[in-house]
Amino acid sequence: MSRVGKQPVQLPSGVKAQAKGSSIEIEGPKGKVSVPLLRSVTASIESAEITVKNVDISRQAKANWGTQRALLSNAVVGVTDGWSKKLELQGVGFNAVLKGNVITLATGYSHKNNVELPAGVTAQVSKQEIVLESCDRELVGQVAASLRAACPPEPYLGKGIRYAGENVRRKAGKTGAK
């Protein structure tokens, strides 16, 4: 049995959950998130909790059971507290500017990269720091990954866009030995 899957997801006050076909919509003070149901898994909503059960006994069904419960729990946390990711720009002349819903990155290339923010994601940008916030954890992670992909940290000088607190392994340069 899944230790994660058998625990019910508690709904705090102010959070509503509704089953709509093959998905569950969770609505709270920070927004609304729709979580699709995975194969071989059912979810039932009682008063203030969501219970997830697996239909099948296959290995994949057992894996989906715990995953589905975690996805629902993340959605509940997202609509109550929200999710955020912090990115740092490291390098001489590296900066970011937010105009509307487009982040313009100057990362040492001959051109600037424009990354458009999807609906539901807000950003706070200072010169060397970007903070992304949303009620959807997957969406925040995807936008952060696309920003990081514009100029990933390189191992020799450490320049690039990195997650806050990320440790980039540095390589030694040329030794100059003959």
Q: Give 95's strand partners.
A: 106
Going residue by residue through the chain (178 aa), what tens digit of pLDDT does each one get?
567 778 888 999 889 999 888 899 999 999 899 999 988 888 888 888 999 888 888 888 888 888 999 999 999 999 999 999 999 999 888 999 999 999 999 888 888 889 999 998 999 998 889 999 999 999 999 999 999 999 999 999 889 999 998 888 888 888 766 6
Cβ atoms of 145 and 118 closer than 8 Å: no
The pLDDT of residue 168 is 87
Three-state SS at 12: coil
Distance, CA of 11 to CA of 105 (rounded, Å): 39
The pLDDT of residue 5 is 79
Dihedral angle sign, alpha carbons of residues 51, 55, 57, 62: negative
Q: How far is CA 175 from CA 15, 34, 178, in A?
A: 60, 54, 9
Q: What is the pTM of this model?
A: 0.86
Single-letter amino acid, residue 48: A
Q: Regarding the domain with residue range 83-163, which homologous superfamily does it belong to in the CATH classification? A: Ribosomal protein L6 (3.90.930.12)
The pLDDT of residue 153 is 92
Q: Where in the chain is the domain with CATH 3.90.930.12?
A: 9-80, 83-163
Instruction: Confirm or reject CATH 3.30.930.10 for domain 9-80, answering yes or no.
Output: no
